[in-house]
Structure 1
Amino acid sequence: MIMMKYLITVALSTLFVGCSDYLELKPDQKMVIPETLEDCELLLNDYPTMNSGYPIMGEVSADNYYLTTTSWQSVSLIDERNGYIWSDEIVTTATPWQTSYKAIYQGNQVLDVLENLKTKPADLAHFNELMGAALFFRAFAFHQLLANYALNYSVTNASSMPGIPLRLKPEVDDAVKRASLTDSYAQVIADFKSAARLLPTDGALKARPYRGAAYGGLARTYLDMGMYEQAYLYADSALHVRSDLLDYNSLNANASLPIARFNKEVLFHAITSTSYALAQGAAKIDSNLYRAYEQNDLRKKVFFKANTGANAGTYAFKGSYNNTASGMFVGLTTAEMYLIRAESAARLGKTAAALTDLNHLMKNRWLTGLYSDFYSVDRNAIIAKILAERRKELLFRGLRWSDLKRLNLGNTDKMQLKRIIDGKEYLLEPNSLKYALLIPQDAIDEGKLEQNKR
């Protein structure tokens, strides 16, 4: 079994090494064939593959921060420099696309093994957990790809809009074209729902999904789609599994990284690849965003640190739920579920429920005894307040790009983004086609895929 584990690891690392190798290399089926539940467990516990390396370019393109001309010129990855100014130059780095499909491939491997077992497993609960986890990882990776490389879902035209390639089998030789946005989201939802039925309710391993995480994935997906009734129901289900919140009064706000990794709010832990543009030494927090935090809001000290020297008067982000300055946390938390449930409730007219969730979260973010409950009978005012707190709570979580796409579809929330580099102004208009990031050119060429329009 030790040799089997070694061969699985070597085969997978060989298969996916390099930016475009996933698009070119073929697996040596004679080298390793996972066959047992233990083999599946090993594949799912591969943290570098299943929990890290998710796309980061949506956040690079979003508006939580800015770069000075000097910092922008110092970003070593040309794709990030281009992404920051929403350039139409081809994307040369396939890594974020590749690593997401590597997780999908590995999840598909597990599903293939489980579906083809010759004998019924004695431990059916373990079998179900492994199948549920594989489905969850596939859904999570698909959704991360959709958030970056597709336009926002709209029921009126999603069936005619391109989504992503839906690889549902471990074979890499098969050509898979981009499914429609309707079918892409349907697959994500189907996988998350199947995972929720199979997974145990909860557990201690933050890097492995449980039922609460599957509910959370559904809540996030339905929110992106603007389906607020379903988003409310699944956020509610997630919070019935676990509702813990960190009291920020208990954190050392002066620490360089105040928030513990795998803390009690985390329903599922996942991170992106490292970004040069979003590094602490480069990314300056949007000044209007920083000023939006009130003085007694502990997030102002927990999330940010003052820059010094030539950058005095600006601020850097230090509030990562990954407890590191690299690799942005894009996992699921209870705080996100409270905000999804609150926003969905407000949009559905359940204003009392929305205010209860919002105020409960905020009490855990402000200095003890100094928060006064927000109250309004104006549904639009409540929604606006929740959205403001959502941005302040969930910045640098890979969610802002999706939120901009979703909110720009409305009549009142449209936002034009602006960058200034070397005196030149760059604009991103609401509902621009550029909200579907360009797919790496290697993937387009090798897979003969349709590129996003410009």
Structure 2
Amino acid sequence: MRNYLLYVLPALLCTGCSGFLDIKPDQKMAIPNTLEHADLLLNDYTSMNTGYPALGEISADDYFLRSNNWQSISDMDERQAYIWQDEDIVNTVQWQNPYQTIYRSNQVLEVLGELDRNVETAKYDKIFGGAHFYRAFALHQVARVFAPAYDPNSANQELGIPLRLSPDLDIKSIRATLQQTFEQITNDYKQAVMSLPITETLLGRPSKASAYAGLARMYLDMADYEQAYRYADSCLGIYSALQDFNDVNLGSAMPITRFNKEVLFSAASSLAGPLAQTFARIDTNLYKSYYDDDLRKQAFFQHNTNDVGTYAFKGTYSGSHVGVFVGLTTSELYLIRSEAAVRTNRPDQALSDVNHLLMHRWNEDVPYPDITEQQPDRLLEIILDERRKELIFRGQRWADLKRLNQDPRFAKTLMRNIDGQEYRLEPNSPKYAIKIPLIVIEETGMEQNKR
């Protein structure tokens, strides 16, 4: 099967509104129909594992830009996202790409629906679970950027995102509620848990542990800490390996290897100009919060020789500095379980997890100073600080800000300064739901995010 048969969607087709093509492709040529075809669709790493939205991370607070760097950003959507302006989103890529992943997942599920599972049961189940996983992951990535923070008291009234559950391109896209959005993601991940194998040898493909990890991340975003704990625990019960940063080449330009032992599922965002090494300066206070014997300080950052006193990020897990890693890792799962543990009255587990992670980040020539805090509120603050430090430029900060802003203890006003003008983003601002691209709104008639 030729590669072009796998790429049947031009720009904007994934919005689901008819009329984007003047001439539709020959469906007999475009649609796969065997188990092998379905497997090949999921094996396309570029389409299934990359291109996820970066506008949230661009809008977050782990870095800052100099005015001249901001002015040189060619993508106007990225420029405006940095200062939280209300201009319409013009570029469709960050919306289109994950919906292409969703389309392919739906295409795979449609193919499987016509095949006999009993012929190759194990392979069928792996592909079936994989398609549900990819759809869940892509929907969650879109929701984290383009939907408001999840609040159980208002989720049935708030708008979520379009739930594309069929490869039929003539079905019009409408926005589900936020509750329906998260329920669909939950259902897909749970189906993936039931169907995926415990181990996966193909790099980039998910396993059962990956699906448990996706559920833990999703329930954390929902502030359902009991469920977040449960699924993080299930994931780590299957696979729990961590890198020892004493074994990492800290002086390397890219110390963290791609597909390293912590990676449960590898995924990366689309290109993100403001986050490039030559532009993004790490927040000064954040950099200073790492102890000198915390090896992340050397693994994650390098001094900007052309801007004394500032630092660039080099600790990507994606093997490239052109976007950000948004995949799932065991280090994130330890932090999810640790935070969920302290919030659900399991302080010993919370301490065990955060200390276990940090011991793998600490200089082995210096005794590791165990965290022993017993006061729950203070311990929670420590864990949240470590979460930010560990997961910097890993696609998590924007979702964390949205979630934590709902708790007055952790609400934060973000500030930028460009050419002497200050810009502010208040806690719980409707701007935490990035605008949906204008052409998608115009073509589908769906409601834009509130402002």
TM-score bin (small chain): over 0.9
Residue 389 (1) aligns with residue 383 (2): no
Residue 10 (1) aligns with residue 7 (2): no
Q: Whole-Å Cα distance in 1 between the matches of residues 392 and 442 of structure 2?
A: 34
Match of 2:95 in 1: 97
Q: Whole-Å Cα distance in 1 between the matches of residues 14 and 174 of structure 2?
A: 16
Residue 282 (1) aligns with residue 279 (2): yes
Q: CA deviation at 1:198?
A: 0.3
Q: CA deviation at 1:176?
A: 2.1
- Match of 2:312, SS? strand
Deviations 1:297-316 (A, max 9, x none): 0000000000012x111000
Match of 1:334 in 2: 330
Q: CA deviation at 1:172?
A: 1.3
Deviations 1:63-111 (A, max 9, x none): 0000010000011111000000001000000001100000000000000
- Aligned pair partner of 2:122 in 120, 125, 132: 125
Match of 2:340 in 1: 344
Q: Whole-Å Cα distance in 1 between the matches of residues 329 and 141 of structure 2?
A: 16
- Match of 2:415, SS? strand
> Partner amino acid for 1:338?
Y
Alignment of 1:34-183 (within 5 A): 34-117=32-115, 119-183=116-180
Q: Whole-Å Cα distance in 2 between the matches of residues 27 and 337 of structure 1?
A: 43
1:407/1:414 contact within 8 Å kept: yes
- Aligned pair partner of 1:186 in 167, 183, 188: 183
Residue 363 (1) aligns with residue 359 (2): yes
- Match of 2:428, SS? coil
- Match of 1:135, SS? helix
Q: Whole-Å Cα distance in 2 between the matches of residues 120 and 308 of structure 1?
A: 59
State, as a whole percentage, how many aligned pairs show the same letter: 50
- Match of 1:390, SS? helix
2:245/2:295 contact within 8 Å kept: yes
Residue 225 (1) aligns with residue 222 (2): yes
Q: Whole-Å Cα distance in 1 between the matches of residues 439 and 189 of structure 2?
A: 29
Match of 1:449 in 2: 446
> Partner amino acid for 2:71?
Q
Q: CA deviation at 1:27?
A: 4.8
2:13/2:169 contact within 8 Å kept: no
Unaligned runs of 5+ in 2: none
Q: Whole-Å Cα distance in 2 between the matches of residues 163 and 220 of structure 1?
A: 17
- Aligned pair partner of 2:410 in 413, 425, 429: 413
Q: Whole-Å Cα distance in 1 between the matches of residues 118 and 233 of structure 2?
A: 34
Deviations 1:250-286 (A, max 9, x none): 0111100000000000000000011111000000000
Q: Whole-Å Cα distance in 1 between the matches of residues 344 and 412 of structure 2?
A: 23
1:296/1:370 contact within 8 Å kept: no
Runs of at least 4 residues of structure 1 off by over 6 A?
none
Q: CA deviation at 1:204?
A: 2.3
Q: CA deviation at 1:21?
A: 5.1
* Residues 448 and 11 of structure 1: CA distance in aligned 2, closer, same or farther (over 3 Å): farther
1:206/1:266 contact within 8 Å kept: no
Match of 2:244 in 1: 247
* Residues 293 and 125 of structure 1: CA distance in aligned 2, closer, same or farther (over 3 Å): same
Q: Whole-Å Cα distance in 2 between the matches of residues 293 and 203 of structure 1?
A: 35
Q: Whole-Å Cα distance in 2 between the matches of residues 204 and 300 of structure 1?
A: 32
Q: Structure 1 stretch 142-151 or stretch 21-30: which is displaced more?
A: 21-30
Q: Whole-Å Cα distance in 2 between the matches of residues 178 and 305 of structure 1?
A: 43
Q: Whole-Å Cα distance in 1 between the matches of residues 99 and 59 of structure 2?
A: 22
> Partner amino acid for 1:436?
A
- Match of 1:267, SS? strand
> Partner amino acid for 2:409?
T
Q: CA deviation at 1:407?
A: 0.3
Q: CA deviation at 1:324?
A: 1.7
- Match of 2:416, SS? strand
Match of 2:435 in 1: 438
Q: CA deviation at 1:32?
A: 2.4
Q: Whole-Å Cα distance in 2 between the matches of residues 211 and 99 of structure 1?
A: 25
- Match of 1:30, SS? helix
Q: CA deviation at 1:120?
A: 4.5
Q: Whole-Å Cα distance in 2 between the matches of residues 272 and 319 of structure 1?
A: 15
Q: Structure 1 stretch 352-361 or stretch 370-379: which is displaced more?
A: 370-379
2:282/2:312 contact within 8 Å kept: yes
Unaligned runs of 5+ in 1: none
Q: CA deviation at 1:122?
A: 1.4
Q: Whole-Å Cα distance in 2 between the matches of residues 156 and 57 of structure 1?
A: 27
1:56/1:273 contact within 8 Å kept: yes
2:38/2:127 contact within 8 Å kept: yes
1:65/1:283 contact within 8 Å kept: yes
> Partner amino acid for 1:224?
D
- Match of 1:138, SS? helix
Q: Whole-Å Cα distance in 2 between the matches of residues 357 and 247 of structure 1?
A: 15
Q: CA deviation at 1:142?
A: 0.2
Q: CA deviation at 1:203?
A: 1.8
Aligned-pair Cα RMSD in Å: 1.1
Q: CA deviation at 1:14?
A: 4.8
Deviations 1:369-397 (A, max 9, x none): 43111011200011000000000000111
TM-score relative to the length of structure 2? 0.97
1:59/1:399 contact within 8 Å kept: yes
TM-score relative to the length of structure 1? 0.96
- Match of 1:31, SS? helix
2:275/2:323 contact within 8 Å kept: no
2:6/2:30 contact within 8 Å kept: no
1:206/1:267 contact within 8 Å kept: no
Match of 1:321 in 2: 317
- Match of 1:401, SS? helix
Q: CA deviation at 1:33?
A: 2.4
2:80/2:87 contact within 8 Å kept: yes
1:258/1:323 contact within 8 Å kept: no
1:232/1:340 contact within 8 Å kept: yes
